Amino acid sequence: MKPLSFDILRQLSDGKFHSGTDIANLFGVSRSSIWQAMQPLSEAGVEVFRVPGRGYRLREPIEWLDCQALSSALGERASLFDLEILDQVDSTNRALLQKSSLGARHGSCVAAELQTSGRGRRGRAWFAGIGGGVAFSVLWRFEQGAGFLSGLSLAVGVAVVRALYAAGVCGVTLKWPNDVLHGYRKLAGILIEMQGDVSGPCAVVIGIGLNLKLSGEVLHRIDQPAVDIFSITQQMPQRNRIMALLLMHLADVLTEFSRRGFSGLRAEWKKYHIYQGKPVRLLMPDGMQQQGVLLDVADDGALLLETSCGHKRFTAGEISLRGAG
């Protein structure tokens, strides 16, 4: 979207009607420019009412992410993060990976009001409308190498669940290796990308996307069962508060992980795993399937399955987990 589109949205954020003429005069452009700037809004999950004689009004107000509000909510933990909020970016992970290669500090965080090419695991797209979700990435540097970081995506899942329960969202579960669910529908996703040496040190960019309230337009573009917090609680959560909770619990989990790896979080993760002890099938990269009963996860986050050929161990890679039924 054009910068003018975001300027108009912020002007409309008060929930009142604004005439096209007033908006055009405010920004020093023509009314046709205002009309053109508002055309992409529906695709971005924003619904605007247009009433002849009264002008434009947002159907629902937008709470914009704000560095000052986030820092205030983070309290003492605010010093752990270097926050940057962008109106629009192709991918927060991609933007932060570029910053990391240029020496961005530990704890750098990039959030975006709109991702045009948000990414999920296995190359999937991540869709979220403006104001309807939270999408951000955090850079965390580890002294250890890649081998030590096995199970990191599972650990981040624990952080997300902790944050959601702290926000009053109950019934949240996890699916190996990095999906956050509610009622078998996806509520949040995690994408981890790594830079560095096998022997260490290394930098990890952790991307988190959380659905707050999805518009019909955005839901139509999602190719799997999805749910949002509004549907669960019947209340629209405060975006800055819930992002602050995610960052707080993420910092706690990553600090614990840097000391002990996934082993110290394994019992908590299992408590939330929706397929623990249940029949499942794994979809392999070559199209083959492996069925069995999910026994456990190892200290390094590997999945342990009881199959007709005995116990087998699987690491994340491109494997997709499904319920057997």
Looking at 31-40, 256-265, 309-318, which range is the least confident one?
Answer: 309-318
Q: How far apart are CA 115 and CA 267, in angstroms?
A: 34
Residue 153 and residue 96 share a domain: yes
Q: How far apart are CA 285 and CA 273, in angstroms?
A: 23
Residue 122 has pLDDT above 90, yes or no: no
Residue 155 and residue 141 share a domain: yes
HEC assignment per residue over 52-79: CCCEEEECCCCCCCCHHHHHHHHHHHHH
Residue 120 has pLDDT above 60, yes or no: no
Residue 125 has pLDDT above 70, yes or no: no
* % of the chain at pLDDT higher than 90: 65
What per-residue confidence (pLDDT) applies to 215? Answer: 78
What per-residue confidence (pLDDT) applies to 325? Answer: 59
Q: How far apart are CA 245 and CA 165, in angstroms?
A: 10
User: Could you tell me the pLDDT band of residue 121, with boundaries at 50, 70 and 90?
Assistant: low
The three-state secondary structure class of 216 is: helix
Residue 295 and residue 150 share a domain: no
CB 85, CB 111: distance < 8 Å? yes
H/E stretch holding 82 reads strand 82-89
pTM of the model: 0.91
| 299-317 tens-digit pLDDT | 999 999 998 888 999 886 5
CB 283, CB 320: distance < 8 Å? yes
Residue 267 and residue 292 share a domain: no
Residue 71 and residue 53 share a domain: no
Residue 127 has pLDDT above 70, yes or no: no
Q: Please state, rounded to an integer, the average pLDDT across all residues of the chain.
A: 90
Q: What is the mean pLDDT of residues 161-171?
A: 97
Residue 206 and residue 100 share a domain: yes
What per-residue confidence (pLDDT) applies to 41? Answer: 84
Domain range for 160: 67-271
| 56-79 tens-digit pLDDT | 999 888 999 999 999 999 999 999
Residue 168: count of CB within 10 angstroms of its CB: 12
The CATH number of whichever domain residue 288 belongs to comes to 2.30.30.100
Number of domains the chain contains: 3
Which amino acid is it at 219?
L
User: Which residues neighbour 134 within 8 Å (Cβ) at sequence distance 6 or greater?
Assistant: 65, 111, 128, 208, 209, 210, 212, 239, 242, 243, 246
What per-residue confidence (pLDDT) applies to 126? Answer: 62
Residue 124 has pLDDT above 70, yes or no: no
Helix ranges restricted to H, 78-236: 92-101, 152-166, 216-221, 229-233
Listed residues 247, 271, 295: the one ending a domain: 271
Residue 158 and residue 182 share a domain: yes
Residue 198 and residue 316 share a domain: no
Compare 217 and 204 and report the one with higher pLDDT.
Answer: 204
Q: What is the mean pLDDT of residues 165-189?
A: 94
| 77-117 tens-digit pLDDT | 999 999 999 999 999 999 999 999 999 999 999 999 998 87
Listed residues 35, 58, 81: the one ending a domain: 58
Residue 292 and residue 184 share a domain: no
Q: How far apart are CA 18 and CA 5, in angstroms?
A: 14
The CATH number of whichever domain residue 50 belongs to comes to 1.10.10.10
Catalytic residue positions, numbered = 121, 186, 322
Residue 245 and residue 194 share a domain: yes
Residue 314 and residue 170 share a domain: no
Total residue count of the chain as it appears in this document: 325
Residue 275: count of CB within 10 angstroms of its CB: 19
Residue 48 has pLDDT above 60, yes or no: yes
The CATH number of whichever domain residue 225 belongs to comes to 3.30.930.10
User: Could you tell me the pLDDT band of residue 321, with boundaries at 50, 70 and 90?
Assistant: confident
Which tokens hold the place of 231? 């549907």
Residue 207 and residue 146 share a domain: yes
253 burial type by CB count under 10 A (0-12 exposed, 13-18 middle, 19+ buried)? buried
